[in-house]
Structure 1
Amino acid sequence: MFDYMDCELKLAEAVIRQLNSAIAVSQMSSGQCKLAPLIQVIQDCSHLYHYTVKLMFKLHSCLPPDTLQGHRDRFHEQFHSLKNFLKRASDMLYFKRLIQIPRLPDNPPNFLRASALEEHVKPVVVMANEVPEEEEPPQTESLIEISNAQPVEQQIVD
């Protein structure tokens, strides 16, 4: 999961590096074409972050903390990179009308304190005109009653 997150963050960094910050790039079609893949990166990273946090807490409940020091260090690096990327993306006008970018907490979770898992809030990405994941879409009823309908052949014969 760490490798996958690294790849996503490297892609985001490469795309942002290609943009000319002196121009309102997100308003130009060429800039929008470059920024479009970052929507998927934002969605992927929010899920990766959430599952990595849960996995790290699970590992810390089973293994000694000194065994996981390297994992904590790598998580902290990714946390800060992801936080910077999401901050940059939320400042771009292009994303403001397409996607609600989640905000990460100011500090990474403290995996050495098991109760910190209860403080973790799953980052939710909401696309424009989309129902958030936690909400169920409203149930719609059929406009036509089909349970008592006769087969088409019988209707023609009658």
Structure 2
Amino acid sequence: MLMKPDGPRPSVQSDTGDRTPVGINLGVGAVMVLAGVVVASLIPVAYTGWRFAVVAVAVGLFAAMTVDHLALGPVALLGWLVVNGFLVDRFGELSWHGSSDLYRAVLLVMAGALGLALGEARVQIHGLRTRWRTEAELQALVAHIYEEDRRDA
């Protein structure tokens, strides 16, 4: 089976029907993760869980805002690398800390999955409300036309 290349794959469809390219979402995700790390660096080193939670929230928020499945993986990976290099270790030095690093990676993936689920729910609810509103307006228009036809007859 032959498949035609469609060019760059767009990711997220907004309310206007435009789609945001994955590269733009990657840049937004990188900025969000780095902003989260800057905020997390203000928390004392003794509270490592809270420092990590700030970055996990940034990854989840990115996923909920963009609902971009393709960009979420690299953004979560960037979050893990930056947490490992700058919040757990110092000066960007990456090292493996055993199961704690694995737990951090899993928590970032879970934060991203939860964000995707919330973002998808938001998109679905918005679409459902738009559909209901359109159907209600159509029914009101049909009822109005029907009343005018009955009066004219």
What's the TM-score, normalizing by structure 2? Answer: 0.31
- Of Structure 1 and Structure 2, the greater helix share is in 2
TM-score (norm 1): 0.31
